[in-house]
Amino acid sequence: MSKAKIYYTLTDEAPMLATHSFLPIVKAFTKAADVEILVPDISLAGRILANFPEVLREEQKIPDYLAQLGKLATEPDANIIKLPNISASVPQLQEAIAELQKQGYALPEYPVEPKHAEEEAINKKYAKVLGSAVNPVLREGNSDRRAPKSVKDYAKANPHRMGVWNADSKTTVAYMNEGDFYATENSVTVENDSKFRIVFYGNDGTSKVLKDLSPLKAGEVIDSSALNIKALKSFVEKAITEAAEKNVLLSAHLKATMMKISDPIIFGAIVETYFKDVFGKHKATFDTLDINANYGLATLYEKIAGTAHEAEIKADIDAAINSGPRIAMVNSDQGITNFHVSSDVIVDASMAALVRGGGKMWNKDGKEEDTVCIIPDRTYAGFYEAIINDMKQNGAINPTTFGSVPNVGLMAQKAEEYGSHDKTFQAEADGTVKVEDENGNTLLEQKVQKNDIFRMCQTKDAPIQDWVKLAVNRAKLSNTPAIFWLDKGRAHDAQIIAKVEKYLQQYDTTGLDIRIMDVQDAMLETLKRGREGKDTISVSGNVLRDYLTDMFPILELGTSAKMLSIVPLMNGGGLFETGAGGSAPKHIEQFIEEGYLRWDSLGEFLALQASLEHLAQTQNNGKSQILADALDNANAKFLATDKSPARKVGGIDNRGSHFYLAMYWAEALANQDQDAEIAEKFRPVATALLENEAKINEELIGAQGKPQEIGGYYKPNSNAAYAAMRPSATLNKIVDSI
């Protein structure tokens, strides 16, 4: 029998650093169950290099691990642990390319606006790594995310700090009432297998194929929608006026990482509208410098640096900020505003933090203030409006008594992948965009004006069936009500509701409480039940899955990194995700500056336990189950003894938390009575770790407090990263001897 394999992904930033500390422990312990740990590199740097083998020396080339994992995800024995990775914005991509070039990789520059065929080919290659490029490839199943009981119990006993909500809070959500994606969405269910293409027909009689023939499967739901840029800018002007009149902050909340085409354009429209006098006055200079509002103030400042007009432009920007409403800050100390970089404020994380913080964001002086939150499209703005209104009325939730909100999310086979793919375009002229079948029949169409955003979306039938089944199973297993968050007034959701109602009939739901509710109603009902201490399963589409699995974990637990995220793959394998990476950039920066990593690896611990359990069940590996059970005990003790990273230098950091997890895991394995061989193997390990606890802590904490040189942010030197993340010779000797 071949060795059981777990694919433990190497990703980016703080999770990547944590892997350099935790992976040697994982490999050492899992050898006891004859499990092989493989480490495919799907980091941003790794994915860039995999796409350009032709410009690299032989020793620099790396395989396309993401493509390999995508294929593996469709196979029954897949077992993948997926850590958070960078969903790259254009500025991040450019930074990564510059770092790799400096390290000796002969990569071409990223041509933002390609001028000829060669640049277009390079642009297309780089486009493969932009935005949410990893998750759609690996997610061949739907999502089952929940807080494990041990995590929830710990959060109730040790509640995190919640901001105070006042009934007179001026914080509101500003959204469009016309011309948004919600208003224009149309949707149909495809009856037979066929093909589609997307074509732009100009009012001047010209036409252009935007996407050529691609497959459609019988039963899948397809949508199109368009956002009117003129209507967007008009709306933004009203939001600016509202914030000024209320004397509160102005903030924009988008998903420019996942919706990598539409949301940077929307972000650019917001920036350009706020600074319209600056963009008007300096149009000629901005054209010469190729300044694009979509990339925000950070890139603008970089491009004007050293030019004759730098001081004047900066003064005009400052004057616009001083005369307009105050802009919310990403980093008050460094002067980084909400308008600096489109990927700095990711709506699911930023709005959850705002709700937890009593509806406040930071001003330039580092003080909290109410804010007008710009979320232009109504499709999801109502989600946040409902929770803000509830908080104003009922006050903040109490983490010590609040129920739990697990989520079953529709995402398999790129379901509802809005804006992050090859079906989103900005109109080059006035005209009509049509989705046509292979015979030229129109399936969907949108009238557009120049610069409007068109998007199309596909949601296949098999994932919808699997999603309904998963929701029913979760409701049965936990005896918990399940609510499908679907708006009957929305074109796409109306198609999905018909399918949900049809597929629910295939199951015996006697005694189960399964409902379909509009998003705002679902939010209010879920909050009402939660305040009563009751659990409610949220069953949602892909984008709402993202928003729900940040909002409720952040309110309940203080972080979404402690969620257990299981993706039962449709062909029998398992994908185990390890929480959200929203704080990852801050943590790696702190580590490089002062040798302290605050990243909490609890998500990795939980995912590994579920992965080992899956291995035991699917490959009849009894030893793997013993490892899983012992790790479950270790996780509970880890939480009970509060060994997550402390807040600042001098306490245990990420590396110290790995030591304690290893000690508790070894202890549980040594004390179990199901497998004498494993108990015998780990008895001396547990003893050595316990006896050397003080010495190991001294070595780990002694390594803190000084800058770390790891050879790169996006692609660190592996040896340097291991040396930095494994500074305890005593711990290393014990682990390496297993």
pLDDT for 597-623, tens place per residue?
999 999 999 999 999 999 999 998 999
Tell me which of 415, 443, 458 is where a domain ends: 458
254 occurs within a structural domain: yes
Residue 582 pLDDT > 80: no
Residue 443's H or E segment, with its range, is strand 442-448
> Are residues 301 and 342 both part of a single domain?
yes
Q: What is the pLDDT of residue 89?
A: 83
pLDDT tens digits for 303-334? Answer: 999 999 999 999 999 999 999 899 999 999 99
pLDDT tens digits for 352-391? Answer: 999 999 999 999 999 999 999 999 999 999 999 999 999 9
> Are residues 246 and 191 both part of a single domain?
no
Q: What is the pLDDT of residue 580?
A: 66
Q: What is the pLDDT of residue 91?
A: 87
- Give the pLDDT band of residue 395 (cuts 50, 70, 90): very high
- Give the pLDDT band of residue 575 (cuts 50, 70, 90): very high
For the residues 492-511, what does the mean pLDDT come to? 97
Q: What is the pLDDT of residue 132?
A: 77
For the residues 579-595, what does the mean pLDDT come to? 81
CB 457 within 8 A of CB 417: yes
Residue 1 pLDDT > 60: no
For the residues 575-596, what does the mean pLDDT come to? 84
323 occurs within a structural domain: yes
Residue 215 pLDDT > 80: yes
Residue 156: exposure state from Cβ atoms within 10 A (0-12, 13-18, ≥19): middle
> Are residues 235 and 220 both part of a single domain?
no
Q: What is the pLDDT of residue 112?
A: 87
- Give the pLDDT band of residue 736 (cuts 50, 70, 90): very high
Residue 153: exposure state from Cβ atoms within 10 A (0-12, 13-18, ≥19): middle
Residue 417 pLDDT > 90: no
Q: What is the pLDDT of residue 497?
A: 98
CB 185 within 8 A of CB 223: yes
For the residues 547-554, what does the mean pLDDT come to? 94
- Distance (Å, rounded) from C-alpha 345 to C-alpha 339? 9
5 occurs within a structural domain: no
- Give the pLDDT band of residue 556 (cuts 50, 70, 90): very high
Residue 337 pLDDT > 90: yes
Amino acid identity at 133: A
Phi, psi of 507 (to 5 degrees): -120, 150
197 occurs within a structural domain: yes
Strands 564-568 and 143-146: antiparallel
483 occurs within a structural domain: no
> Are residues 257 and 368 both part of a single domain?
yes
> Are residues 197 and 338 both part of a single domain?
no
Residue 2 pLDDT > 70: no
For the residues 476-486, what does the mean pLDDT come to? 96
> Are residues 198 and 277 both part of a single domain?
no
- Give the pLDDT band of residue 488 (cuts 50, 70, 90): very high
> Are residues 305 and 436 both part of a single domain?
no
For the residues 681-705, what does the mean pLDDT come to? 97
Residue 703 pLDDT > 60: yes
Q: What is the mean pLDDT of the chain?
A: 94
- Give the pLDDT band of residue 560 (cuts 50, 70, 90): confident
> Are residues 243 and 190 both part of a single domain?
no
Number of structural domains the chain divides into = 2
Tell me which of 318, 344, 377 is where a domain ends: 377
> Are residues 284 and 355 both part of a single domain?
yes
> Are residues 324 and 252 both part of a single domain?
yes
Which residues have C-beta within 8 Å of that of residue 466, sequence separation ≥ 6? 141, 142, 412, 570
Residue 584 pLDDT > 80: no
* Range of lowest pLDDT (14-18, 97-101, 416-420): 416-420
Range of the domain at 247: 172-178+228-377
**Around Cβ 188, how many Cβ atoms within 10 Å?**
15
Residue 581 pLDDT > 70: no
354 occurs within a structural domain: yes
- Distance (Å, rounded) from C-alpha 328 to C-alpha 351? 13
> Are residues 284 and 328 both part of a single domain?
yes
> Are residues 365 and 328 both part of a single domain?
yes
